[in-house]
Structure 1
Amino acid sequence: MRIALKIAYDGRKFYGFQRQPNVRTVEGEIIKALVKLGIIENPKDANFKGASRTDRGVSAFGNIIAFNTSKPELTYPRILNHHLQDVWVLGRAQVPEDFHPRFWSKGKVYRYYLIDEGFDIEKMKACAQLFVGIHDFSNFARIEEDKNPIRKIDRIEILPKGKVIVVEIEGESFLWEMVRRIVTALKLCASGVLSIEDVKRMLEEKVARKLPPAPPENLVLWEVKYEGVSFEKDPYAVEKAKKEFFEKFAQHLITASIFEDWLTSL
């Protein structure tokens, strides 16, 4: 049987998602728990796959993994969460044998959390709309040789929540560092360093020097979307993960004086 799991994790605690020798990674931590419980024997035979290989420092509250197992009764969130640290299983789904969490994805949603430094929110919103649609994002990503720089962004929303501004970006697929470089452009627009015309030019022409990516620690892969795949969520696991995840996530982001108000607004 093939099982898919919806997972959250604190990216600051890992050297990225993908397995690497001699360092702690999200994938490595999950596989270790699955092998320990006898759910899988090894990732290759189980056809273990992930939806997104998030970079070091990037967190998730909706990444997806999938694997084959003869013991699906052991894959429930409350069982797995007992054996995981800094990773939370939120829900599970039985999926077709050919299900690949990356190739079956219909879109992803990212959230970037900014401390409001007196930004002009209206300028930030106007700048955000420039990125919506189909564009060449060569100037807003680290381009790998085999990757097409043309991407489609479905929406960008700027959501002020007290002292925190949430930038929510949804699209079909994203390039390496694309979200974080877009966030840098939004910050510079909202600060008056870049104009709307500057950003338009960067979407239309090649530039000699790209904008740097915003720090990875404030980025969260919020959701991976599918058609015909419904995850059975465990309410207890979701609430426990939400509290523990955001408490850890917020430690480096906001001060204790505004933490409670921010947490209740999520």
Structure 2
Amino acid sequence: SLTICQSFCRFYGFASEAQMEPTVESEIFKALERTKLLVGNKEESRYSRCGRTDKGVSSTGQVISLYLRSNLKDIGGNSTERKNSASEEKCEIDYVRVLNRVLPKDIRVIGWCPVPADFHARFGCLSREYRYFFWKRNLDILKMQEAAAKFIGEHDFRNFCKMDAANVSNYRRKITNFNISSCNERSNDDELWAVTIKGSAFLWHQVRCMIAVLFMVGQGLETPSIVDALLDTSRTPRKPQYNMAPELPLVLRSCEFENISFTCSLEASKAVTEHLRSEYHNYMLQAAIHNEALGCLCSPDNSSPEPDRKNRGHIPLLLRQTELLIELYTCWKIFW
């Protein structure tokens, strides 16, 4: 099993089923073929992934599993019974180092772990954690935190996802943590914050839909009780039409498994650290250049602030047009 870190930059999502290139998955398999690590083809390798992040979404903890070539015998045994000795780890292929040599710079393998032959990265995952970054601006954080607390627990989230009736019949999911906190970073009198969400599993675009509603609450366009109304599917059986939050600030932060501990050689770990630090510094330089450009602009006159426009044009969610009923959507998919 491998854990993957990738940035949003140029990929059409993680999964190769996106029908557009490049995807993170397609680049990983190109690297596996180049390094001769793949056993058979993709189908024969019993490949599985923990999740399929969409275009524009980054990851620091995506997990995949598949058969790879190994220097050791019987490595696919039960990981709860088998304990790798230091000598065994030294004899094993350094998967992180080998793959990162041929992967694009915006994809990095950051760890590996031997797993049982019946391990499945998606169905074996105990929990997934996402993080969504945003600038505070004039958002009411206390109201957002009040609304966020209502998501915790097991609920029907059909009003907080993109309809996928062809593949999903159960819209109940469990959220175990929903936290909004400061990142202690400031820029131009604004402050960077983050929403951290942990749950057993998530529906298609569920995180971005929940964040979109939280932003409406933070802007004063909706009250925290809107979350109660949308979670009550007897009261609100159809999802109101609204735009999701942008994909760029969203990160799949980690995936949790039982008795799985990823490892990485010291040499490979140093190389990954240096690479990520270099990429970070490059982005900081770009940010400094943009900030320099802002400093060259004439400052607008703020002595006469414009009237508050936050409510202009906003239609309350419960008064908006709604999506098709799930039952009707399913019938439509079957008919066509």
Shorter-chain TM-score tier: 0.7 to 0.9
Structure 2 segments unaligned to the other structure (5+ residues): 72-91, 186-190, 292-336
Map of 1:69 onto structure 2: 68
Map of 1:155 onto structure 2: 177
- Residues 1:184 and 2:206 aligned together: no
Map of 1:126 onto structure 2: 146
**1:78 positional shift:** 1.8
- Residues 1:243 and 2:240 aligned together: no
Moved more, 242-251 or 195-204: 242-251
Taking the TM superposition and a 5 Å limit, the aligned residue runs for 1:164-243 are 164-204=192-232, 205-207=236-238, 209-234=240-265, 235-240=269-274, 242-243=276-277
Distance verdict in 2 for CA 1:226–1:35, change over 3 Å:
same
Moved more, 156-165 or 70-79: 70-79
Tell me the TM-score normalised to structure 2 length. 0.70
Distance verdict in 2 for CA 1:65–1:112, change over 3 Å:
same
**1:252 positional shift:** 9.4
**One-letter code aligned to 1:236:** K
**One-letter code aligned to 2:134:** L
Q: Is the 8 A contact 2:160 2:239 kept in 1?
A: no
Q: Is the 8 A contact 1:5 1:65 kept in 2?
A: yes
Q: Secondary structure at the match of 1:52?
A: coil
Cα distance in 2 for partners of 1:12, 1:100 equals: 28
Q: Is the 8 A contact 1:89 1:237 kept in 2?
A: no
Distance verdict in 2 for CA 1:114–1:43, change over 3 Å:
same
Moved over 4 A (4+): 244-257
- Residues 1:38 and 2:16 aligned together: no
**One-letter code aligned to 1:66:** S
**One-letter code aligned to 2:120:** H
Aligned length: 255
1:109 aligned residue (125, 129, 134): 129
Map of 1:89 onto structure 2: 109
**One-letter code aligned to 1:239:** T
Name which one, 1 or 2, has greater alpha-carbon Rg.
Answer: 2
Q: Is the 8 A contact 1:77 1:237 kept in 2?
A: no
Q: Secondary structure at the match of 1:27?
A: helix
**1:104 positional shift:** 0.4
Q: Is the 8 A contact 2:61 2:255 kept in 1?
A: yes
Q: Percent of aligned pairs with the same residue?
A: 32
Q: Is the 8 A contact 1:109 1:169 kept in 2?
A: yes
Instruction: Give the alignment's Cα RMSD to 1 decimal.
Output: 2.4
Cα distance in 2 for partners of 1:218, 1:59 equals: 8
**1:61 positional shift:** 0.2
Distance verdict in 2 for CA 1:201–1:29, change over 3 Å:
same
Structure 1 segments unaligned to the other structure (5+ residues): 258-266
Distance verdict in 2 for CA 1:149–1:199, change over 3 Å:
same
Q: Secondary structure at the match of 1:95?
A: coil
**1:96 positional shift:** 0.5
Q: Secondary structure at the match of 1:94?
A: coil
Cα distance in 2 for partners of 1:140, 1:121 equals: 20
